[in-house]
């Protein structure tokens, strides 16, 4: 055998022995050998060259990026929503205006240390504060300016969100809700926000009268579990009510109108129910209960920490919770039971709330399958048990199954700076799908 043949034979025997030895190694021994070889050849475990000084690192895929849930660079108590003080002068006059010609008053900058110490206290009623000229809302508006605006000011001008176009062809007798279908091919836990279609903030349907009746009966038995309010929410609740009634009058003028007289003040005329509501006779949330068959939650900014808390609302379509079980809670406490909320969404939600402008309301939808059409399902409700087990088909015909869509909107009111959640539960029988 030639010298070259002997060399090849020796090499082959050596490789064979090395392979046999490798097979006889334990997993940890194999790992050690692999790492030593890889480090010399500069290969990664996947067989790709490792990055060097001349090789830019590969980007991380969206699914593998760590969540951006880090503390804010500055405290939320020092962050204020965008102001719209310029709109004060052009907001239309109201019969209840007091000193309208004085608008706007002197301006104060949010960066001014005295502004932070002049904010209206968290639980204070704006109508009874001792120094209204030097007490401000988070929107930089003095309480004297709010008094000068009076009741039912021009919220379209103040907020930057136009009133809806009149829906002159609308007939309540035949009105059906739009087929909300917030489906997506893949599920990702995000806020899923889109721009609000402002003509459809409050949508009526042919069950309007029955819905109002059902909600009033529910309040008669459930009380503060579905409608309640805490001190400090007075201005926000008033704004919400006035904005909702202005919307209804503009969108459905054939059914709703507002009038004013010296003896009664403002009166809301409901042509569907054929009655009227004297605004000054009841709390703003009760005005909504009497006339608007949708849910509202009022989130108020606490000047002590800059976070938002649930301070009032009328809610009867929540699943597994109620207004009574969440009232007074901070945003993160309300969403505490949601899986991965703290890790993936808490920081994003708090940051979004702190900077959310009045002129950019948003909407979102969530969906699921529901047995029957429950209107009110607080913690411990018997209907909640359907989520724990599967009924046999004989007890659960398909006629009882519905697609439930929870349609939600989010907007900031322009004077108090509170954020309003609006909820609507819509049910479609599963049998209607093809």
Mean pLDDT over each residue of the chain, to the nearest integer: 82
Segment 291-324, tens digit of pLDDT:
999 999 999 999 999 999 999 999 988 777 889 9
Q: Which of 166, 172, 174 is nearest to 274 (CA)?
A: 172
Asked which of 63-67, 175-179, 189-193, 261-265 is least confident by mean pLDDT, the reply is: 63-67
Asked which of 13-22, 121-130, 175-184, 392-401 is least confident by mean pLDDT, the reply is: 13-22
User: SS3 letters for 12-64?
Assistant: HHHHHHHHHHHHHCCHHHHHHHHHHHHHHHCECCCCCECCCCCCCCCCCCHHH
Q: For 27, phi and psi rounded to 5 degrees? A: -60, -45
> Does the pLDDT value for residue 401 go beyond 90?
no
Q: Which of 163, 164, 161 is nearest to 195 (CA)?
A: 161
pTM value? 0.79
| Per-residue pLDDT at 38 | 53
| pLDDT mean over 247-268 | 97
| pLDDT mean over 169-181 | 85
Confidence of residue 24 (pLDDT cuts 50, 70, 90): low
Segment 260-290, tens digit of pLDDT:
999 999 999 999 999 999 999 999 999 999 9
Asked which of 15-19, 118-122, 252-256 is least confident by mean pLDDT, the reply is: 15-19
> Does the pLDDT value for residue 186 go beyond 70?
no
Q: For 197, phi and psi rounded to 5 degrees? A: -80, 100
């Amino acid at each position: 055998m030639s010298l070259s043949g002997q060399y090849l034979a020796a090499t082959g025997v050596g490789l064979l022995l090395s392979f046999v030895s490798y097979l006889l190694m334990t997993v940890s021994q194999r790992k050690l050998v692999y790492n030593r070889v890889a480090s010399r050849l500069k290969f990664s475990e996947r067989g790709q060259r490792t990055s060097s000084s001349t090789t830019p690192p590969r980007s991380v895929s969206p699914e593998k990026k760590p969540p951006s849930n880090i503390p804010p660079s500055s405290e939320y108590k020092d962050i204020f929503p965008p102001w719209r003080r310029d709109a004060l002068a052009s907001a239309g006059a109201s019969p209840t205006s007091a000193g309208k010609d004085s608008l706007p008053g002197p301006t104060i900058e949010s960066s001014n240390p005295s502004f932070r110490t002049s904010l209206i206290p968290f639980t204070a009623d704006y109508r009874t504060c001792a120094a209204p000229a030097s007490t401000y809302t988070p929107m930089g508006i003095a309480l004297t300016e709010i008094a000068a605006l009076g009741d039912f000011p021009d919220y379209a001008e103040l907020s930057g969100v136009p009133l809806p176009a009149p829906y002159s062809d609308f007939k309540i007798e035949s009105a059906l809700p739009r087929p909300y279908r917030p489906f997506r091919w893949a599920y990702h836990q995000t806020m899923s926000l889109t721009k609000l279609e402002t003509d459809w903030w409050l949508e009526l349907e042919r069950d309007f009268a029955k819905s109002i009746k059902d909600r009033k009966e529910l309040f008669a038995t459930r009380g503060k579990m579905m409608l309640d309010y805490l001190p400090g929410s007075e201005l926000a609740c008033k704004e919400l009510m006035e904005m909702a009634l202005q919307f209804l009058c503009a969108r459905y003028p054939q059914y709703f109108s507002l009038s004013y007289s010296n003896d009664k003040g403002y009166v809301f005329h409901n042509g569907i129910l054929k009655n009227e509501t004297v605004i000054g006779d009841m709390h703003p949330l009760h005005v909504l209960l009497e006339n608007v068959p949708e849910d509202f939650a009022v989130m108020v900014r606490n000047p002590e920490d800059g976070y938002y808390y649930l301070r009032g609302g009328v809610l009867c379509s929540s699943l597994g919770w109620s207004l009574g079980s969440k009232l007074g809670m901070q945003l993160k406490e309300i969403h505490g039971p949601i899986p991965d909320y703290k890790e993936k969404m808490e920081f994003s939600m708090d940051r979004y709330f702190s900077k959310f402008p009045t002129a950019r309301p948003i909407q979102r939808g969530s969906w699921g399958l529901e047995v029957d059409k429950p209107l009110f399902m607080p913690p411990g409700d018997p209907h909640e048990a359907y989520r724990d087990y599967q009924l046999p088909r004989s007890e659960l015909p398909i006629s009882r199954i519905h697609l439930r869509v929870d349609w939600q909107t989010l907007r900031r009111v322009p004077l108090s700076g509170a954020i309003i959640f609006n909820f609507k539960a819509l049910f479609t029988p599963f049998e209607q799908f093809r």
